[in-house]
């Protein structure tokens, strides 16, 4: 069966520090991968998606970037965190061509 791992679960970082969140999927190949952010009291906002290795598309302009160095690995990064980057970050995957997405447990990021 397929599983998705996301870490760390919580992270507290100072303003201006770098960020690296990692997500890996097991039990499938060539998945679509997604990064979402959920701000307090709001829905899920799609940040990045990837349909293959090295293929990254951004949905909204922001201080973050994403990379997909391997088929089942998706990384969310920032060179310098802003206070507004605080939130709950979720990684998700879906089979190619399917609409159902499966989510990781999420990372609570607090930028202080």
Partner 1 sequence: DQQVKQNSPSLSVQEGRISILNCDYTNSMFDYFLWYKKYPAEGPTFLISISSIKDKNEDGRFTVFLNKSAKHLSLHIVPSQPGDSAVYFCAASDGGTSYGKLTFGQGTILTVHP
Residue 12 as a binder of partner 1 (CB under 8 A): the answer is: no
Q: Nearer Cβ to partner 1, position 9 or 16? A: 9
Tell me the C-alpha distance between 20 and 67, whole Å. Answer: 10
Residue 90 as a binder of partner 1 (CB under 8 A): the answer is: yes
Q: How far is the CB of 32 from partner 1 (least distance, A)?
A: 5
Over 61-88, what HEC string results?
CCCCEEEEEECCEEEEEECCCCHHHCEE
Q: How far is the CB of 45 from partner 1 (least distance, A)?
A: 8
Q: Nearer Cβ to partner 1, position 49 or 74? A: 49
Of the listed pieces 13-21, 36-44, 60-68, 72-80, which binds partner 1 according to CB under 8 A?
Answer: 36-44
Q: How far is the CB of 105 from partner 1 (least distance, A)?
A: 5
Among 7, 28, 53, 103, binds partner 1 (CB under 8 A): 103
Contact positions with partner 1 (CB under 8 A) in 38-67: 41-46, 49, 51, 57
Which residues does 39 contact at the CB level (< 8 Å), separation at least 6?
45, 87, 88
CA-to-CA dists, residue 25 to 15, 19, 33, 84, 100, angstroms: 30, 20, 9, 28, 15
CA 76 to chain centre: 5
């Amino acid at each position: 069966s397929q599983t998705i791992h996301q870490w760390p679960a919580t992270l507290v970082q100072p303003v201006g520090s770098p960020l690296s969140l990692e997500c890996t999927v097991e039990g499938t190949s060539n998945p679509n991968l997604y990064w979402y952010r959920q701000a307090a009291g709001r829905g899920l906002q799609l940040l990045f998606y990837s349909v293959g290795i090295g293929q990254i598309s951004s949905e909204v302009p922001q201080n973050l970037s994403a990379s997909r160095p391997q088929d089942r690995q998706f990384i969310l990064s920032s060179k310098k965190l802003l206070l507004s980057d605080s939130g709950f970050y979720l990684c998700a995957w879906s089979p190619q061509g399917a609409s159902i997405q499966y989510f990781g447990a999420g990372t609570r990021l607090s930028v202080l």
